[in-house]
Amino acid sequence: MSAEKTDAAVAQIKALGTSPDDNYRVWYEIFVYSYCDSDGDGIGDLQGVISKLDELTELGVGGIWLMPVHPSTTYHKYNVSDYYAIDPAYGTLSDMEQLLQECDRRGIRVIMDLVVNHSGSDHPWFKEAVAHLQKVASGQPMDQVVCPYVDYYNFVEADACPAGHNPVPGADGWFYESRFDSKMPDLNLGCEAVRKEIEVIMAFWLEKGADGFRLDAAKEFYSGRTDQNIEVLSWLQQTAVSLKPDCYLVAEVWDTFGQITDYYKSGITSIFNYPFGNSSGKIVKVLQGAGNESMVTTWATAQEKSDTAYSGSHPGYIDAPFVSNHDVGRAAGFVGRDENKVKLAGAMNLFMSGASFLYYGDEIGMICGGGNDPSYRAPMYWNAAGDDGTTAPPPGCTLPEEYSFAPLSEQKKDDSSIYSYYRKAIAIRNALPVISHGVTTAETELNRGCVSAVRKVWEEQQAILLMNIDSKAASVDLSAYSGWQLTVSLTVDDQPVVLDGTSLSLPAYGAAILTPVA
């Protein structure tokens, strides 16, 4: 049961074209714990994800980013105990193989979280290293032949615990680097044996059918040392591509525009575009200032500036915009739960060039109940009854007293819902590959008032994207654009976009895409 007008609109949009089978796709981030529970124990699992793959296909996403699925002592699983296994709460290796096959069958690519800045403190490598250091502390010599794992981490002998370190238990005077948490000892990425381990881990999952990796905490590989982090990213990229030529890597470098520009010199395919995402990023700032003319026009110029700088460092880069993820909270909260702005935030992300990342639940405008990590990772809001795979909240998660918008089951039946808007926006992006693949420049003649305008060029294709970022209707003079036609539009309500002669009327928060007349 779905919304008939939306189904018809999506079918019409799909007829416009298709995107190539590459990594410029819409990727959907799934926190397995909170997504869908298949066996009633309250914890999401891989069979739950498998049961919802048709939902993802209907939404139009072409890829999944799975947050860590390996055995771990925490609910979030960013401290890995075994890189080759699946956490029993999530399922088995055979479930993971089935998930990869089911995704492959639907043309959905899967990237896995590769957490190699650190391991878990209960990983056998760390436990063996600690056991050896305990003997050293009691007067025996350190022997790296007996225990090669002492080189896997960054151990130091010191009088006092250095910053970013924790004491090695039972080994007085020894400390280990652990930038995030005592449960997360930093791996020594300069150690050849560690690099070999990482290569074997990547090969294992790629061979199983994974399509790439999201690289956690790349800025902390060598905390404060950008040049060395760039070297590690270069190595990871070259290694991944040597294992699987179209392997997709996207790195988390939570940093400024200038820093990310530098990090692209590594040749890494993608880096999350933090300057555009999160509550302080460009998308949300522009929407918060909606109607402010000088701010609206920067939406176009910022995309041009970003594309120019990043491609200057790495011509083959694929941008990786997002609004929300598991560390920052929810788009709907950032824009004051204003339904129109929640929708437009989705289109602003999806209509940027590159690979666009969605966080599960953003397509229905989910919000957080609290300002901490577990609350950013609340159960997917499938239906009002809380069945159909709804999970228990992760430990420490505060649920919203009430969600601002309806659950997925209801939004699917509503032609004017956030979900229906997302379906149409994704369909437009997928049907017109110039949107995701195009080089972006501000279209200065049209980029004025409360209308943002960019031109995208890719191979023989061109498009001009117009967006009214205001609560009032806008009119655009297209008299200098006689060779262009209105190809498709997207509005937050039922108000149409109308081209009358050379005058284009854009309703509040409406978007239009022009392409050259054939």
End-to-end CA distance of the chain: 37
- Comparison of 41 and 143: residue with beta carbon closer to Ca ion: 41
- Rounded Cα gap, residues 336 and 288, in angstroms: 9
Give min distance, CB of 30 to Ca ion, in A: 14
Residues in the chain, how many? 518
Give min distance, CB of 33 to Ca ion, in A: 9
- Rounded Cα gap, residues 416 and 3, in angstroms: 9
With helix as H, strand as E and coil as C, how does 118-160 read? ECCCCCHHHHHHHHHHHHHHCCCCCCCCCCHHHHCECEEECCC
- Comparison of 46 and 129: residue with beta carbon closer to Ca ion: 46
CB 32 within 8 A of CB 44: yes
Specify the 3-state DSSP secondary structure of 19.
coil
Return the bridge partners of 114, or none: 215
Give min distance, CB of 37 to Ca ion, in A: 4
- Comparison of 39 and 207: residue with beta carbon closer to Ca ion: 39
Between residue 44 and residue 83, which ones bind Ca ion under the rule CB under 5 A?
Answer: 45
Give min distance, CB of 88 to Ca ion, in A: 10
Between residue 136 and residue 165, which ones bind Ca ion under the rule CB under 5 A?
Answer: none
* Segment lying near Ca ion (by CB under 5 A), choices 34-42, 146-154, 214-222, 452-460: 34-42
* Segment lying near Ca ion (by CB under 5 A), choices 43-51, 107-115, 146-154, 472-480: 43-51
- Comparison of 246 and 387: residue with beta carbon closer to Ca ion: 387
From the list 41, 172, 207, 246, which residue makes contact with Ca ion (rule: CB under 5 A)?
A: 41
- Comparison of 91 and 333: residue with beta carbon closer to Ca ion: 91
* Segment lying near Ca ion (by CB under 5 A), choices 35-43, 62-70, 138-146, 326-334: 35-43
* Segment lying near Ca ion (by CB under 5 A), choices 41-49, 220-228, 242-250, 479-487: 41-49
Give min distance, CB of 89 to Ca ion, in A: 7
Give min distance, CB of 42 to Ca ion, in A: 7
Residue count, binding to Ca ion (CB under 5 A): 5
- Comparison of 321 and 394: residue with beta carbon closer to Ca ion: 394
* Segment lying near Ca ion (by CB under 5 A), choices 36-44, 65-73, 144-152, 508-516: 36-44
Q: Which two tokens stand for residue 392?
A: 């228990």
Q: Is 207 in the site for Ca ion (CB under 5 A)?
A: no
- Comparison of 43 and 61: residue with beta carbon closer to Ca ion: 43
Q: Is 39 in the site for Ca ion (CB under 5 A)?
A: yes
Q: Which two tokens stand for residue 365?
A: 């405008």
- Rounded Cα gap, residues 253 and 229, in angstroms: 10
- Comparison of 43 and 446: residue with beta carbon closer to Ca ion: 43
Between residue 99 and residue 138, which ones bind Ca ion under the rule CB under 5 A?
Answer: none
Return the bridge partners of 29, or none: 65, 359
Sheet (strand 155-157) strand order: 155-157, 174-177, 165-167
CB 380 within 8 A of CB 391: yes
- Comparison of 44 and 354: residue with beta carbon closer to Ca ion: 44
Q: Which two tokens stand for residue 179?
A: 């930038």
* Segment lying near Ca ion (by CB under 5 A), choices 30-38, 141-149, 170-178, 300-308: 30-38
The residues, any chain, with a CB within 8 Å of residue 118's CB and separated by 6 or more, are 79, 178, 179, 180, 184, 185, 186, 187, 217
* Segment lying near Ca ion (by CB under 5 A), choices 39-47, 410-418, 419-427, 441-449: 39-47
DSSP for 310-367 reads HHHH-TT---B-BS-BTTTB-HHHHTTT-HHHHHHHHHHHHTSSS-EEEETTGGGT--
* Segment lying near Ca ion (by CB under 5 A), choices 32-40, 296-304, 490-498, 501-509: 32-40
Give min distance, CB of 70 to Ca ion, in A: 16
Give min distance, CB of 329 to Ca ion, in A: 25
- Rounded Cα gap, residues 351 and 438, in angstroms: 10
* Segment lying near Ca ion (by CB under 5 A), choices 38-46, 181-189, 443-451, 487-495: 38-46
Give min distance, CB of 104 to Ca ion, in A: 23
- Comparison of 37 and 255: residue with beta carbon closer to Ca ion: 37
- Comparison of 389 and 433: residue with beta carbon closer to Ca ion: 389
- Rounded Cα gap, residues 266 and 250, in angstroms: 12
Specify the 3-state DSSP secondary structure of 435.
helix
Residue owning tokens 């929407």 = 287
Give min distance, CB of 413 to Ca ion, in A: 27
* Angle at CA of residue 185, ends 181 and 187, nearest 5°: 140
User: How many CB atoms sit inside 10 A of residue 39's CB?
Assistant: 10
Find the helix packing angle between 4-14 and 418-431, rounded to 10°: 10
List C-alpha distances in Å: 437 to 273, 282, 347, 459: 16, 20, 16, 9
Give min distance, CB of 47 to Ca ion, in A: 8
Q: Is 37 in the site for Ca ion (CB under 5 A)?
A: yes
Closest CA to 510 of 452, 438, 433: 452
- Comparison of 91 and 329: residue with beta carbon closer to Ca ion: 91
Give min distance, CB of 385 to Ca ion, in A: 18
- Comparison of 45 and 319: residue with beta carbon closer to Ca ion: 45
Give min distance, CB of 101 to Ca ion, in A: 20
Residue ranges that bind Ca ion, judged by CB under 5 A: 37, 39, 41, 43, 45
